Amino acid sequence: MKPSLFVVALGMAIVGGPAAGVADPDCRASRELLDLGHPLTAAREAVAKDHDLRIVAMGSSSTQGYGTTSPQYAYPAQLKLRLGAAMPGVAVHVSNKGIGGQDAEEMAARMQSDVQPQHAHLVVWQVGTNSAIRHTPLEKFARKLRAGIDIGKSLGADFILMNLQYVPAVVALPDEQDYARVMAEVAKEKGTGFFNRLAIMKAWYNDGMPYSQFVYNDGLHLNDFGQKCIGKLLSMAILRAVKPSQLTGDAKAGN
């Protein structure tokens, strides 16, 4: 294992203490990659003032949970489970708004109708893979990202953009890095969080983890391990941005 990587085991709680079961040393990300790059002001205030956190997981099939053996393994369900456990006394709500096959344009079109009724403090927008597969022009892709973020922000929500997954079907594309680059640029421009799923999963692979450990047999979607691990790492990133221990006095935010 590379020195720059720290281990976060699936058998361990977010607080870092041991839990029942076998610890799996392969769910990992560098500290740098768990930095969302922007504070989650609305989410932080909701936790501090109301002891409430409402999240909308906007996305396509990997948000919906395709490739898992149970919906509870999809990363939105893992967010609810892990954030709730890490912040006792805070009501955590996660609405899964994943629709398989949709791209940035289709998701931006339903941003208001899916976010507004939930009174969301935070939108996690998983996007990019279907746009890359369909070869959506990069300028159009960026425009739709901006439009979706603007709608959500107008409703008072923070944003985290989650980029493409590092899987064989995506790696085979000629320009997947261009879509990831555009997403990072738009996140910086619009002042949103950015969860670099592509780089996190690429680090798994480069460090010796075979695709079979985290990729479903279609070569595109994440399996149970992949989804649960992304859910765990994203939970940790959100906790670091919200810093609940400073707000509630009893939250179990991990390092």
Backbone angle region of 37, left / alpha / beta, with phi > 0 → left and psi within -120 to 50 → alpha:
left
Residue with tokens 């969301």: 120
Q: Which tokens go with 190?
A: 């619009």
What's the whole-number mean pLDDT along residues 87-106? 97
CA end-to-end span of the chain: 19
Calpha distance 67→215 (Å, rounded): 8
Domains in the chain, please, with CATH? 6-242 (3.40.50.1110)
What pLDDT, on a 0 to 100 scale, did the predictor assign at position 53?
97
Calpha distance 17→172 (Å, rounded): 39
Per-residue pLDDT at 250 exceeds 60: no
* pLDDT per position as a tens digit, 138-193: 999 999 999 999 999 999 999 999 999 999 999 999 999 999 999 999 999 999 99
CB distance 46 to 52 below 8 Å:
yes
Per-residue pLDDT at 104 exceeds 80: yes
